[in-house]
Chains A and B, each alone.
Chain A
Amino acid sequence: MGKLKSNEPSGPVEEKWEKHKFDMKLVNPANKRKIKIIVVGTGLAGASASASLGELGYNVHTFTYHESSRRAHSIAAQGGINAAKNYCNDGDSVQRLFYDTVKGGDFRARESNVHRLAENSVKIIDHCVAQGVPFAREYGGLLDNRSFGGAQVSRTFYAKGQTGQQLLLGAYQAMMKEVERKTVTLHTRSEMMDLVVVDGKARGIITRNLLTGELEKHAADAVILATGGYGNVFYLSTNAMACNVTSTWRAHKKGAFFANPCYTQIHPTCIPVKGDYQSKLTLMSESLRNDGRVWVPKAAGDHRDPQDIPEEERDYYLERKYPSFGNLVPRDLASRNAKEQTDLGKGIKGGLAVYLDFEDSINRLGKDTIEARYGNLFDMYQQITGTNPYQSPMMIYPAVHYTMGGLWVDYNLESSIPGLHVLGEANFSDHGANRLGASALMQGLSDGYFVIPNTIGHYFGSNTLGKVSTDAPEFDQAINDVQERIQKLISIKGSKTVDHFHRELGLLVWDKCGMARDKAGLKEALKRIPEIRAEFWDNVSVPGDGQFNQTLEKAGRVADFLEFGELMCQDALHREESCGGHFRTEHQTKEGEALRNDDDFCFVSAWEYNDGKKAKLNTEDLKFKDVPLSQRSYK
């Protein structure tokens, strides 16, 4: 078992980043244009990194499988972005955002990274406003804030329920500005199929042009992955249909350690599953919990309509159990409590759903105010379900939303492969075992705008990189492997669809590695996943050829999920404790809360690929100096 070093600078946590910025090596402006950087992914992290690196003068090549980089799934983030501006005069500070995030993550994040994130949060808002992001404003013309789960201050900036869209368009436009200046070359409908490592360093990627099917070799001085999370391993999730694990998994197979894959976030407020045909789940923003009250009938088996259940026969269980945070407890708690209620048979009409009720808020504030705050979310709910949430309470249930795990990175966001940097949801570093609401946008933009432009220069300044040509044997080897795999997928001509296998895997991991996990279930999943994988490679149907072929694209991604799912379950089995989104039923307090095991598991699990055999464990010890380890309490 190897020990990993975070490479964070010494000194007090609040001085580390400033000190590090001074200590890092720089690259002369004239030399930057001779350095080529590959960025994969154009969500918040990838687009902001591309724009900022382009501004610095690097030769940036950015890749996305989308037809336009503005389609990346950051666009769907609804609720907001946190920043420690303390505009509300309610006691917020960088220190408090840092504290809330470490605690919210159930003490499984790296303190130094989280503090840097909280520091950068302030600059992100300044930058986005300067870019023209139309955040919500008060009548006086200044920026408005609202509150989110896991915090008792209002520090969330928002643009109706479309904050992710507005922030992504800001980053996309900044990147297009650099495309026009020719510092960024954008490759759309180009999917990364493999990472190329030469002399131990990340030196390029193999891509597939999705329009022609042609495989391409791209060499560079460094590679940045900003390719998002792996939530779609569960098949049904709030992720977009194309979100996948391929680029991080391919990098893992080339030597990048995968950290904490079992830390997955199940978001408490999503529209419940309604049928077998369902292709994805839709989130209802956490911001709704500002004004919505969560409840179930007090008695199991009470199948009356909500308006027929009198007040005294309703259980507002979050307000009852957690009086100080009420409906705004962190996501992991809200989700687990919903599951507990439905397990007790108190779900709506006995099913998998609980109420999110706005009646009191509408009576108190008026329908107009509620409409101004959440109008588009209410409309979306009505479109999908056909019921009007102004008149009857929303029905919600938890769904897979975000993955805290990802490729292991050090303080410089560099993976265990030198030269491979990983940003945003694709890395593991800032959210521990549970991410707080409105913190994903913050992290993606912090990494892309403010961290990587500094740390990647340090990489170039401290390494002598020789020229690498795409004629190198490593490129040929990689492209041949990809070609072989594609040929195999097309030639199987089996009798089951790609979605059939994806659905089967998803149901299995949702059941055994979802909101609650135990040893027996995880062992069962670990036995079953290789069987599904074997059947996939024997019997999947991919019509058509190697040119433009959407089924083929999907098949490659599902094939990688079928390998990755096993590592996720292995990690969940290994971690004999409950923390944040990882809830092992064997480890809970008398009240049913997550019970950490700090003596044995206060570390990051970073798994090393082992030629298809059981992955090897490396660990990074976590030290909590500034936010002392404690049992989380939101009561």
Chain B
Amino acid sequence: MGETITLTLKVWRQKNASDAGHFEIYKAKDININMSFLEMLDVINDTLTLNNQMPIAFDHDCREGICGSCGAMVNGVAHGPVSGVTLCQLHMRSFSDGDTIVIEPFRAKSLPVIQDLVIDRTAFDRIIAKGGYISVKTGSAPEANDTPIKKKNADSSFDAAACIGCSACVAACPNASASLFVSAKVAHLALLPQGHAEKKRVLAMVDQMDEEGFGGCSNAYQCESACPKSIKVENIARMNREYIKQKVSK
């Protein structure tokens, strides 16, 4: 069922963080166009395994675009040529017979490579730990409908909260900035009345982002176009406003 294509893959192979790394070339023969990109890599890995070679390491889990585990640069574009999807949702029908595909890990100083396409994103967790939450103790919450929230704000908050933490925004940014990721969380919480008491969170989160070595935002907007969840750069503007307000307020 379905037609097949044959591809040349140039895949980044790197044994560990200290290895320099290099490209390896693989032929991907008779690939069914209905396969997902990761299923295509599964096929390559099966062959490598049976030749007792190390398969290409890549993080992945849900394979439905929501866990944020997968991701790679495909021909220089984070998550590949289709906008609004993660790598696991990219299907081979987006490629043509005879194509060469270059596959590399997301690259940024703050997201070091662990092996092949696997990177270390723990910096994101450390940023969230600095304030990406509302401090409510279990058991202390008021009745849910006591606080009406304007639908417009609730919807905007949801749109920002849809971030999956995949780090494509960092990989796409010329400055390797994590501004889109951080601002999405700041905006999600700042747009809700429940989040107002701790608006100072933005200061600690931005400080942590700097400490992790992420660059600053210079409005290249590459992050928005790379984002598989279409998170908007408006969130960065909101974060900057929040930052200044909180910096000057007591």
Instruction: Report how far A240 CA is from B129 CA in the complex, Å.
Output: 26
* Chain A residues within 8 Å of B150, by CB: 141
Mostly helix, strand, loop or mixed at chain B's interface?
loop
* Chain A residues within 8 Å of B165, by CB: 68, 70
* Chain A residues within 8 Å of B161, by CB: 132, 134, 159, 166, 169
Instruction: Report how far A172 CA is from B35 CA in the complex, Å.
Output: 32
- The answer on a CB contact under 8 Å between B39 and A383 is no
Instruction: Report how far A240 CA is from B122 CA in the complex, Å.
Output: 21
Asked whether B210 is an interface residue with its Cβ less than 8 Å from the other chain, the reply is no
Cross-chain pairs A/B with CB under 8 angstroms, 29 sampled: A70-B68, A70-B125, A71-B61, A126-B142, A127-B139, A129-B141, A130-B140, A130-B194, A134-B158, A134-B188, A135-B154, A166-B161, A172-B128, A173-B128, A174-B136, A180-B130, A240-B61, A241-B63, A274-B2, A275-B34, A383-B89, A449-B138, A450-B138, A496-B50, A541-B50, A541-B52, A543-B48, A543-B49, A551-B55
CB distance from B195 to the nearest CB of A (A): 6
CB distance from B151 to the nearest CB of A (A): 5
Q: Which of A55, A176, A274 contacts B138, CB < 8 Å?
A: A55
Q: Given A162-B66, A165-B66, A240-B61, is A142 in contact with B46 using a C-beta cutoff of 8 Å?
A: no
Q: Given A70-B68, A277-B43, is A130 in contact with B134 using a C-beta cutoff of 8 Å?
A: yes
CB distance from A99 to the nearest CB of B (A): 23
Interface residues of A in 109-156 (CB under 8 A from B): 123, 125-132, 134-143
* Chain B residues within 8 Å of A142, by CB: 145, 148
Instruction: Report how far A48 CA is from B2 CA in the complex, Å.
Output: 44
Interface size classification for chain A: 35 or more
Most chain B CB within 10 A, of A67, A132, A137, A453, is at A132
Instruction: Report how far A70 CA is from B61 CA in the complex, Å.
Output: 12
With both beta carbons as reference points, the residue of chain A lying nearest to B195 in the complex is identified as A132
Asked whether B207 is an interface residue with its Cβ less than 8 Å from the other chain, the reply is no
Q: Which of B141, B151, B188 contacts A141, CB < 8 Å?
A: B151
Looking at the complex, which of B99-107, B113-121, B168-176, B239-247 is the stretch in contact with chain A? B113-121
- The answer on a CB contact under 8 Å between B16 and A548 is yes
- The answer on a CB contact under 8 Å between A75 and B138 is no
Instruction: Report how far A10 CA is from B148 CA in the complex, Å.
Output: 40
CB distance from B83 to the nearest CB of A (A): 11
- The answer on a CB contact under 8 Å between B62 and A274 is no
Instruction: Report how far A143 CA is from B149 CA in the complex, Å.
Output: 9
Asked whether A472 is an interface residue with its Cβ less than 8 Å from the other chain, the reply is no
Interface residues of A in 479-508 (CB under 8 A from B): 493, 495-497, 499
* Chain B residues within 8 Å of A497, by CB: 46, 49-50
- The answer on a CB contact under 8 Å between B142 and A67 is no
With both beta carbons as reference points, the residue of chain B lying nearest to A499 in the complex is identified as B46
5 A-B pairs with least C-beta separation: A141-B148, A173-B133, A130-B141, A134-B158, A129-B144
Looking at the complex, which of A278-286, A325-333, A512-520, A557-565 is the stretch in contact with chain B? A278-286
Asked whether B32 is an interface residue with its Cβ less than 8 Å from the other chain, the reply is yes
Asked whether B200 is an interface residue with its Cβ less than 8 Å from the other chain, the reply is no
Instruction: Report how far A66 CA is from B68 CA in the complex, Å.
Output: 11
A-B contact number at CB 8 A: 219
Type the 1/0 row for B42-67, where 1 means its CB is closer than 8 Å to any CB of A. Answer: 11001011101111010111111111
- The answer on a CB contact under 8 Å between B69 and A71 is yes
* Chain B residues within 8 Å of A1, by CB: none
CB distance from A198 to the nearest CB of B (A): 30
Asked whether B248 is an interface residue with its Cβ less than 8 Å from the other chain, the reply is no
- The answer on a CB contact under 8 Å between A242 and B42 is no
Asked whether A384 is an interface residue with its Cβ less than 8 Å from the other chain, the reply is yes
Instruction: Report how far A326 CA is from B130 CA in the complex, Å.
Output: 49
Q: Given A126-B143, A134-B188, A550-B57, is A383 in contact with B66 using a C-beta cutoff of 8 Å?
A: no
Asked whether B38 is an interface residue with its Cβ less than 8 Å from the other chain, the reply is yes
* Chain B residues within 8 Å of A131, by CB: 133-134, 136, 141, 194
Q: Given A68-B122, A174-B133, A180-B130, is A282 in contact with B138 using a C-beta cutoff of 8 Å?
A: no
- The answer on a CB contact under 8 Å between A140 and B136 is no
With both beta carbons as reference points, the residue of chain A lying nearest to B130 in the complex is identified as A180
Instruction: Report how far A621 CA is from B85 CA in the complex, Å.
Output: 49
Asked whether A465 is an interface residue with its Cβ less than 8 Å from the other chain, the reply is no
CB distance from B40 to the nearest CB of A (A): 8
* Chain B residues within 8 Å of A277, by CB: 32, 35, 39, 42-43
Q: Given A55-B137, A176-B125, is A67 in contact with B120 using a C-beta cutoff of 8 Å?
A: yes
Asked whether B217 is an interface residue with its Cβ less than 8 Å from the other chain, the reply is no
- The answer on a CB contact under 8 Å between A87 and B145 is yes
- The answer on a CB contact under 8 Å between A274 and B34 is yes
Asked whether B157 is an interface residue with its Cβ less than 8 Å from the other chain, the reply is yes
CB distance from B74 to the nearest CB of A (A): 15
Asked whether B93 is an interface residue with its Cβ less than 8 Å from the other chain, the reply is yes
Instruction: Report how far A70 CA is from B62 CA in the complex, Å.
Output: 12
* Chain A residues within 8 Å of B16, by CB: 548
